[in-house]
């Protein structure tokens, strides 16, 4: 019998999420194998099936008995602002007292206050402040994550954020996919000179990032994102930056319709962006465009929850139009400091009206599609990375149903147990 490094067997439910990203009303197909097993060798999945079959096929070097436990792919978190310095607990209190997120930002707080602290931090400090967040993400079942810059807003400070992402990707079990977000806000020194800052992003930062990032991202992809919003960047400024990024070989993303529906989602579909994210106030015609295009709609229910707002991404309309829906945390110090995709699933079930099965597919295979990684991660299929989580629950519906505690019992990254 051929050997394998690890055989996980006897899962009450093994969720394969097999056969690719799930569009529209196809969302929620978990591909459940009861009494399921998975064999991993050299970091990759080599077989998936009923436990009895795999026991008969392989001589494992180690085994993991998952009796009474659900086994599923590690979560993919396709939208995080992972790397920053400091915190904004004071702004949380200001919001409780009635100030809005955009008012705080217009008064020089918000993103800019994190920018000041992040600019002052060395790469070592950024890595040290970020590492515990990654540890919490991993403990909660995330095995791949996107990570944005956007708290430097000057060329060297943006490059330091990218350097921190590359170092953490190399040292930490979580795979990180970098995104350049130089157009996160117009920094204070460019106040009143919006277009000059857009020029800087397009003509200086993007080429510098493309040059600097290529060795670090050889095995991965590199995205460019823009905060397209009233008080941040207009649709035409977003278009300029994203078109330049596309010329330079970046994949594209956009923050759209978080507070006002400006047309950023339609722009993303037109430009062939990998994803359009937030999508709370998305106009109907933009939702229709998502149904026709391949841009993934990423819902971030932690954000309205974190801000205490009542409106969430209209998942039902997006699915009805035939869109590809994913979920992410949006982890950041301003609107939502939450490392847990389990919490995001719980919120998506309640406020976006997803079933647990839909939310799980949105947090795995569709989330992988949002970062262009659906060939590598997001499902348990032969050839993919051995990124697997075991739940302390016998039925997948406990995800979503239960919240506020960690249901992940074991995390396996590329075939190695990294959390027990
Ligand atoms: O996605 N809206 C823009 N960016 C983040 C918030 C960043 C911050 O406040 O630091 C978001 O919500
Ligand atoms: Fe965001």
The pLDDT tens digits of the residues spanning 273-304 come to 999 999 999 999 999 999 999 999 999 999 99
The predicted pLDDT at position 217 comes to 58
Q: Is the pLDDT of residue 177 over 60?
A: yes
What are the tokens at 114? 């994190």
Kindly write down the DSSP assignment for every residue of 236-279, as one continuous string.
HHHHHHHHHHHHTT-EEEEEESSSS--SHHHHHHHHT-SEEEE-
Query: Out of 141-145, 211-215, 380-384, which region has the weakest mean confidence (pLDDT)?
Result: 211-215
Q: In the structure, how many helices (H) and strands (E) does the chain have?
A: 17, 18
Q: Is the pLDDT of residue 201 over 90?
A: yes
Which residue, judged by its Cα, is nearest atom 2 of ligand 1?
227
Q: Is the pLDDT of residue 212 over 90?
A: no
Mean pLDDT of the chain, nearest integer: 97
What atom of ligand 1 comes closest to residue 151's alpha carbon?
A: 10
The predicted pLDDT at position 213 comes to 76
State the first-to-last Cα distance of the chain, in angstroms, to the nearest integer: 29
Alpha-carbon gap, residue 176 to 163, rounded angstroms: 12
Of all ligands present, the nearest one to the C-alpha of 229 is: 1
The predicted pLDDT at position 339 comes to 98
Alpha-carbon gap, residue 277 to 299, rounded angstroms: 6
CB atoms within 10 A of CB 405: 7
The predicted pLDDT at position 274 comes to 98
Residue 336 alpha carbon to ligand 1 centre in Å: 8
Per-residue model confidence as pLDDT tens digits over 244-279: 999 999 999 999 999 999 999 999 999 999 999 999
Q: Is the pLDDT of residue 220 over 80?
A: no
Residue 131 alpha carbon to ligand 2 centre in Å: 19
Report whether residue 88 contacts ligand 1, using a CB cutoff of 6 Å: no
| Average pLDDT estimate for 210-232 | 82
Residues 6+ positions from 337 with CB-CB distance below 8 Å: 87, 306, 331
pLDDT bucket at 75, cuts 50 / 70 / 90? very high
3-state SS, 30-88, equals CCEEEEEEEEEECCEEEEEEEHHHHHHHCEECCEEECCCCEEEECEEECCCCCCCCCCC
Residue 1 alpha carbon to ligand 2 centre in Å: 49
The predicted pLDDT at position 215 comes to 61
What atom of ligand 1 comes closest to residue 229's alpha carbon?
A: 2
Q: Is the pLDDT of residue 396 over 70?
A: yes
Interhelix angle 264-271/284-292, nearest 10 degrees: 20
Q: Is the pLDDT of residue 410 over 90?
A: yes
Are the C-beta atoms of 45 and 333 separated by less than 8 Å?
A: no
Mutate to test the pocket of ligand 1, among 80, 87, 95, 184 (most ligand atoms within 8 A of CB): 184
Q: Is the pLDDT of residue 216 over 80?
A: no
Residues 6+ positions from 189 with CB-CB distance below 8 Å: none
The predicted pLDDT at position 88 comes to 97
Evaluate if pTM is beyond 0.95. yes
| Average pLDDT estimate for 27-33 | 98
Q: Is the pLDDT of residue 318 over 80?
A: yes
What are the tokens at 60? 């494992």
Report whether residue 110 contacts ligand 1, using a CB cutoff of 6 Å: yes
| Average pLDDT estimate for 71-100 | 97
Of all ligands present, the nearest one to the C-alpha of 112 is: 1
The b/e string for 288-319 (b: 16+ C-beta within 10 A; e otherwise) is bbbbebebbbbbbbbbbbbbeeeebbbbebbb
Q: Is the pLDDT of residue 316 over 80?
A: yes
Report whether residue 303 contacts ligand 1, using a CB cutoff of 6 Å: yes
pLDDT bucket at 219, cuts 50 / 70 / 90? low
What are the tokens at 168? 């953490």
What is the DSSP code (8-state) at residue 200?
Answer: I
Which residue, judged by its Cα, is nearest atom 3 of ligand 1?
227
Report whether residue 148 contacts ligand 1, using a CB cutoff of 6 Å: no
Q: Is the pLDDT of residue 218 over 80?
A: no
Query: What are 186-190's contacts with CB under 8 Å, separation 24+?
Result: 186/232, 186/233, 187/112, 187/115, 187/153, 187/154, 188/108, 188/112
The predicted pLDDT at position 401 comes to 98
Residue 175 alpha carbon to ligand 2 centre in Å: 19
The predicted pLDDT at position 221 comes to 84
Mutate to test the pocket of ligand 1, among 225, 262, 332, 338 (most ligand atoms within 8 A of CB): 332
């Amino acid at each position: 019998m051929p050997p394998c490094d690890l055989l996980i067997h006897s899962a009450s439910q093994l969720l394969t999420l097999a056969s690719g990203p799930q569009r529209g009303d196809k969302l929620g197909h978990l591909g459940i194998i009861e009494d399921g097993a998975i064999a991993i060798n050299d970091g990759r999945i080599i077989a998936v099936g009923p436990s009895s079959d795999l026991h008969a096929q392989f001589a494992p070097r180690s085994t993991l008995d998952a009796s009474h436990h659900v086994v599923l792919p590690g979560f993919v978190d396709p939208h995080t602002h992972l790397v920053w310095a400091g915190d904004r607990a004071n702004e949380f209190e200001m919001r409780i007292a009635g100030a809005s997120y955009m008012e705080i930002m217009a008064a020089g707080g918000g993103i800019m206050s994190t920018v000041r602290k992040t600019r002052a931090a060395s790469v070592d400090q950024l890595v040290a402040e970020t590492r515990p967040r990654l540890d919490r993400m991993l403990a909660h079942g995330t095995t791949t994550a996107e990570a944005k810059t956007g708290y430097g807003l000057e060329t060297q400070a943006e490059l330091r954020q990218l350097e921190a992402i590359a170092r953490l990707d190399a040292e930490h079990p979580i795979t990180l996919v970098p995104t350049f977000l130089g157009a996160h806000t117009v920094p204070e020194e460019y106040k009143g000179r919006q277009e000059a800052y857009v020029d800087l992003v397009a003509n200086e930062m993007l080429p510098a990032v493309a040059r600097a990032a290529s060795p670090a991202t050889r095995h991965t992809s590199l995205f460019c994102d823009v905060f397209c919003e009233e008080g941040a960047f207009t649709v035409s400024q977003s278009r300029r930056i994203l078109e330049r990024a596309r010329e330079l070989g970046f994949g594209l993303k956009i923050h759209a319709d978080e507070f006002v529906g400006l047309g950023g989602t339609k722009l993303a579909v037109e430009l062939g962006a990998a994803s359009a994210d937030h999508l709370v106030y998305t106009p109907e015609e933009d939702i229709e465009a998502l149904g026709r295009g391949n841009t993934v709609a990423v819902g971030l229910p932690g954000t309205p929850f974190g801000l205490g707002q009542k409106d969430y991404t209209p998942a039902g309309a997006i699915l009805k139009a035939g869109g590809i829906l994913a979920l992410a945390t949006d982890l950041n110090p301003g609107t939502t400091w939450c490392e847990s995709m389990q919490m995001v699933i719980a919120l998506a079930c309640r406020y976006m009206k997803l079933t647990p099965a839909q939310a799980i597919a949105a947090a795995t295979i569709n989330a992988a599609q949002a970062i262009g990684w659906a060939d590598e991660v997001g499902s348990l299929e032969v050839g993919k990375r051995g990124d697997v989580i075991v739940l302390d629950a016998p039925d997948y519906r406990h995800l979503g149903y239960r919240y506020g505690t960690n249901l992940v019992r074991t995390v396996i990254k590329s075939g190695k147990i990294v959390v027990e």
